Structure 1
């Protein structure tokens, strides 16, 4: 059974290298494009774990390659205070992230070993207080089957579960109806989605399962919280200058929200904690709180 008082937040999914390219202007096909290139830790699940670790005991569960890059990425998690439980084998994945001058990004993922996650050992989950699953873990087999088995086992044991819709491209390929069925089955404490993902899932026309909330992020516009009863909450995002790089902002939001929820704060205050955490990554390359990346 999970430790509902002091057990860790467990985040299950990808750990990869992000190759972040800050473009100086609109990309020009077939020729050189002036840019700045950064290499940093990536993967939505690993990002959430790193952002949450200073706030709450945190464990990452996933798979990386049996290679020096995998070694380095696992070391970065552990240096950041994350209890990293990883399977090893194959080749560590990478994601090329093109960041446009307006802060928007375009991603080219190669998940490598992350997609080969096998069955998760029971001991890695037994003491979990909360399990968070970004949808990227469901994008390929055998990772999808292993992740779903872990989530179902955690939920049946009384562990709180949260889901992140993660990507419109994923939702289209996976199937919106199929993902809604998963939401209905798992009954997550919270589902995170941005406005585009919420539109693909048709969340505007649906109520969450009993006990769940949908948290819909709208960039600089108010975050909308849809509950199983009552009117939606609309919580403004604190004003700030335009973002230079939105990579990892959603993961930082999830980390701030989940840490606050685990501390007993209500939904509105958890959203505010998410806003505060997300704002800290918007001027850094990749999913980082500062420019100190290698």
Structure 2
């Protein structure tokens, strides 16, 4: 029986973004260059560039910005055939400064209210357009766009036979939440997913704690939870999977014993079955390598892409985290939301470094095009 036609389907809003031609306040920047932005399409593009079969599902207007989005995303090798064009609503756009998102100097102005993507709902996005995949990737941004979008996320994360493994990035954007329900809604959606990504800063803002173990107690249901903490440390909590041969052909399933398992048996305690306490978590923490940061935008999406790529390959928790860090490092050392990932063989060599060599790893602009010589230079530092 043939498997799913996609490795990962990513659903959400993508927008045209205008980047400043020089540092400064939006009020002072005289000109902007055009690019694209969108958490879910970023993940789809990064995974496609890494060699996976990806599809982006969303809605755009019938305007020129929608044309640009579709052409650009498809240019990365992403299937855009399920994207719908809305003749009555525009494609979203936004402007931002080049300052770090975490600083007070960062400014972003969205023009997405009433956008085509905000009309996504269970009625406008048929389930079969997202179900034919090994992993379905969603983010909390979509839930903030409109009540219909929120209903769609609840529909896609509902227990149902044959549901693909659901990945959910909390991705809290305070400026998008108008009704004050972010903490409850995002916690609820995260607990309905199988793989969850959340930053410690987001958890502190939403739920009053940045401690990874405390976050796990708030999100006990996902089979795997990745908490990205301060200083670049990322920690996963997951129940161990049964021993399997880690191959690209392994079908990713959630059996309640972790992710990447091949046994398709339903086990109570997963997001698909009855709730059960999360005892026996395997906890893995991996620091990020040192990086010469060019831009922080898109790094979180890249981390998710690297982690999911390694998940599709059936790799162990430490290696999944390292691939997340490496993909994030590609974004951090490049301008804009999207970066060229390192070749798989190069990333695999770096991810396999011993702890000492990994701790000495220092990545700067252009590192993704390096090869074996760069690896040896790292080892000899």
Task: State the TM-score, normalized to the length of structure 1.
Answer: 0.85
The answer to whether the Cα contact below 8 Å between 1:18 and 1:95 also exists between their aligned partners in 2 is yes
Query: In terms of Rg, which structure is larger?
Result: 2
Residue 268 of structure 1, aligned match among 296, 318, 330: 318
CA distance in 2, matches of 1:101, 1:23: 14
SS in 1 for 2:186: helix
Other-structure match for 1:46: 41
Gaps of 5+ in 2: 239-277, 341-364, 366-381
Residue 201 of structure 2 corresponds to residue 174 of structure 1: no
Residue of structure 1 equivalent to 2:331: 281
Counterparts of 1:7-18 in structure 2 under 5 Å?
A: 7-18=6-17
Matched with 1:20 is 19
Q: For 2:69, which of 56, 73, 77 is the aligned residue? A: 73
Cα distance change of structure 1 residues 157 and 271 upon mapping to structure 2, 3 Å threshold: same
Q: How far does residue 281 in structure 1 lie from its aligned partner after superposition?
A: 1.6
Q: Which residue of 2 aligns with 1:233?
A: 284
For residues 239-284 of structure 1, the C-alpha deviation after alignment (integer angstroms, 9 at most, x for no partner) is 122x221111111111111111011112221111111111112233
Which stretch has the larger CA shift, 277-286 or 254-263?
277-286
* DSSP-derived class of the 2:28 partner: coil
CA distance in structure 2 between the partners assigned to 1:122 and 1:218 by the alignment: 34
**2:64 counterpart of 1:88:** no
User: 1:248·1:288 contact (CA, 8 Å) conserved in 2?
Assistant: yes
- Runs (4+) of structure 1 moved beyond 6 Å? none
- Structure (1 or 2) with the greater strand fraction: 1
Q: CA deviation at 1:210?
A: 4.7
Unaligned runs of 5+ in 1: none
Q: Displacement of 1:106 after TM fit? A: 3.5
Offset, 1:223: 1.1
| In structure 2, C-alpha distance between the alignment counterparts of 1:269 and 1:107, rounded to whole Å | 34
Distance in 2 between residues matched to 1:39 and 1:193, nearest whole Å: 29
Sort the Cα spacing of 1:41 and 1:7 in 2 relative to 1 into closer, same or farther, 3 A.
same
The 5-angstrom pairing of residues 111-130 of structure 1 reads 111=112, 112-118=115-121, 119-130=124-135
Aligned residue in 1 for 2:275: none
Distance in 1 of aligned mates of 2:2 and 2:186 = 26
Q: Please report how far the alpha carbon of residue 231 of structure 1 lies from its aligned counterpart in structure 2 after TM superposition.
A: 6.4
Residues 203 and 176 of structure 1, relative CA distance in 2, 3 Å threshold = farther
Q: Are positions 1:137 and 2:142 aligned together? A: yes
Structure 2 counterpart SS, 1:281: helix
Larger deviation: 223-232 or 72-81? 223-232
Q: When the two structures are superposed, what TM-score results if normalisation uses the length of structure 2?
A: 0.67
Please give the alpha-carbon distance, in whole angstroms, between the structure 2 residues aligned to 1:237 and 1:286: 20
Change (3 A) 1:254 1:22: farther
Where relative contact order (Cα < 8 A, 6+ residues apart) is larger, the structure is: 1
